[in-house]
A and B are shown apart, each in its own frame.
Chain A
Amino acid sequence: MSSAALLILVLTLPVAGILLVVVGGGRQARGISLAVLVGNFAVAVGIGGAVCRTGRAVTYSSGGWTAPLGIQLRADGLSVVMLITAAVVALAVGVYAPNEFAVRRGGVETRRSLAFWSLLLAVSCAMNAIFLGNDFFNLYVALELLTFAAVPLVCLTGTRATLEAALRYLLFALTGSALYLLGVALLYGNYGTLDITKLSGLVRYEPGMPLWVAVALMTSGLAAKTALFPLHLWLPPAHGGAPPSASALLSALVVKGSFFLTVRLWFDTVPGQAGMRTGQLLGAMGAGAIVVGGVLALKQERLKLLIAYSTVAQIGYLFLMFPLAGHVGALSGGMLQAAAHAFAKASMFLGAGLMAEVAGSDRLDGLRGMGRALPLTTCAFVLAALSLVGVPPTGGFMAKWQLLSAAFSAGQWWWVVVILCGGLLAGGYMFRAVRPTLVEGIQPAAAIPRLREWVVLALAVCALLLGGFSKKVLELLDIGRPQITEMRP
């Protein structure tokens, strides 16, 4: 097996894990899942090593059938950064989760243990498939995999409110899938291939109305799945109501899946072709997300809802890369933001879960004294908040810095204003979340295993380190990119 075969391994390993969890029942679910997630991380790093070593994208054609008839998997710099990010977050959630989805005494499987562990592995598999897909139909299957893994995670507790949130999420997600698929059908009808590399060559010579209708359909479908403002209505109840481990997966990873596909569509398939106006429209929606999400986050009284609205706002930054496409820093800023937000947000949701376990609820006014009760978690919480606000030297800062410099070099000063306003708003709502934890107060004694606290801290430290190692990450992001990406449109 060559290193290219690792691409297949990173897809099939989680699938094998799901099968073992379904067959082995709850008793073994945790052990199987953790083993698979560790393996998943190792393979992701292995792929990263192969890409760095060769300095080129690694590809693999399943069954030996080459594209366009067969399916090609392709790992470039973007894939590697996201693969490793997702593997770290999924592993962290797996280590954190046991207490929440423990198996009943006597080793009898429960509804939650079966569902949680198989869905965790499914999210992992779907993310990997999205990061490696180089064929729009293969990517559609990956997207469906992600939807069917994510929606049940919302209603794991089974309460009426979470079922409603899950149903609403399902409707948005399926509408998004249908629009995406319509676009894919149009692309095939017009070009006779769905391979991204082949398509990017064809559209340069034969753009036209069908192409733009397809891109519009796919982009709106993906935006609904990513919860881009004003299609964000499903996100806060879904992410705020799910169990903390599920919220962490949903906010940190799942929304990045459809975002990543949007990047593949705009930066890899039709680079430098979209008019100024469409990019500005996506950017404007992102700006709306930053402002509206930020203002609504300021108003929340429950910690998990506050964090969920912060996700709405942070997703906005991701879409600022589209109007700035072609300027140095746009693509890398957006991707850094995706990774930094994944670490920080996973840390925050998991930390919020621990705090709610101690305090009995996640109401902000009940968090006093948390700094003494859970020092490690509170420390992680502050670090993650700094990254989300964009304070140097965190990953969040580097991401926003890249976007700012792209905005300056593009001469589009209005995005600078948006980014600065977003930073102020984030500072405001994060201050509201952090302040009570640092104030003196008395919390009931609760036995939280140290390991779970360390996991929360480790994720926050990852967000911090991403800033420190941003130069390396930026170099990695450039590997295997078509030259056109960083040119003026």
Chain B
Amino acid sequence: MAALDQTQVKEGVDQETVDAVREVGTYKYGWETEIEMEYAPKGVNPDIVRLISGKNDEPVWMTEWRLAAFDRWTQMDEPKWAMVNYPEIDFQDQYYYARPKSMEEKPKSLDEVDPKLLATYEKLGIPLKEQMILAGVEGAEDAPAEGRKVAVDAVFDSVSVGTTFQAELKKAGVIFCSISEAIKEHPELVKKYLGTVVPPSDNFYATLNSAVFSDGSFVYVPPGVRCPMELSTYFRINAENTGQFERTLIIADKGSYVSYLEGCTAPQRDTAQLHAAVVEIIVEEDAEVKYSTVQNWYPGDENGKGGIYNFVTKRADCRGDRSKVMWTQVETGSAVTWKYPSCILRGNDSQGEFYSIAITNNCQQADTGTKMVHLGKNTKSRIVSKGISAGKAQNTYRGLVSMHPKAKDSRNYTQCDSLLIGDKCGAHTVPYIEVKNNSSRVEHEATTSKVDDDQLFYCRQRGMDEEEAVALVVNGFCKDVLQALPMEFAMEAQQLVAISLEGSVG
């Protein structure tokens, strides 16, 4: 954007236009909040694990659980199979715990939260004050007159700063709080479910997370309850050289329903930062969970300097019959993404869906996809993945569809499409298909192509500039996935798609 800064503004062009143009094509969330932080010493070892556990006032069983995970982690190797290249990470050169000083004494209500923190979220467009809930997004037909409510849990570096609408949720019996709070307030639930979907020994990053996770969200929806509003977590990395390790645990008890949204951003920095999260979802009989993510971590600059390394383990266990889970993700940020939201379809007639848009530009690398493990009879899964690669970026879909011998009459449909913009980027597809019974049907299709010249020509003819035209074509390409997103996210995602591709044409 340097060139633009130096451009003389022509007469007749108003300042607003210039500002709007300047803003587009840059990472909007790259600013930093100056706030006094408290850090644990750099590096990771049993003492740090104990320290993190201590900071959260955890019971002994939790501390031991973490220490066992740490012990396991020291015996594990970093996975190398993904199609991503990045310099060796020095795991001892990171801070594993950082929290705003003002959070030392946990505020009892949002009114006590440091105004600087609230301002941060306000700037990000995340409403934390309940009265500030935005009016419904334009065209949200089913939204009640006073606007749709979304309860938010905001996580700033290592700690949760506040959760909105807790009282209203409580009325419905829904527990929505930070995981550190849940460990104290609802130990029986945490003990029963934590680590049952993603065991502490699952993989290198998940094991590290099990040892050092500092906070995250906890959701419990009791039997038969339809969660009265959408739940949302907003993750913000602010401190430098700090890894964020959050842990989310969602339990949808029999016959319940919940829709959960996740968003993330980080400041613009020259050094890469680590983010290794774990999300576990338990879906009991007849329950349904929708999990939507818009991942917009700082992607690094156009030369690949800085950015977030995003190594995430997300898994849903459809334990009960007729349970259903739906993952939707829009991945536009991060320098490196390593993420495979998966579904274990254990219950008979259970369903798993995965809708994904992964956009990589400049030097970004994404290796993402899903696993659908069919164990129960008559289970169904559907995968729709759209990968868009521009600049010098590499975008890989990696997935597994496994039909076990007992998963009779099951069904999978997979569609992965890749779009290439420019001749320096790459798009790859690595599906694994394992079919071990003959009453199940598995279909996999994948295509790779470039933005269609005819379509571009048509748009240009109608007076669009080239970038607009590409954004429109790409939005069309992603339509199947965008439609699966909740309304608020769909709008944001559509704009993100356009912004992420700025500078990729020409």
Q: Bound pair: A and B? A: no
> What residues of chain B have their CB less than 8 Å away from a CB belonging to chain A?
none
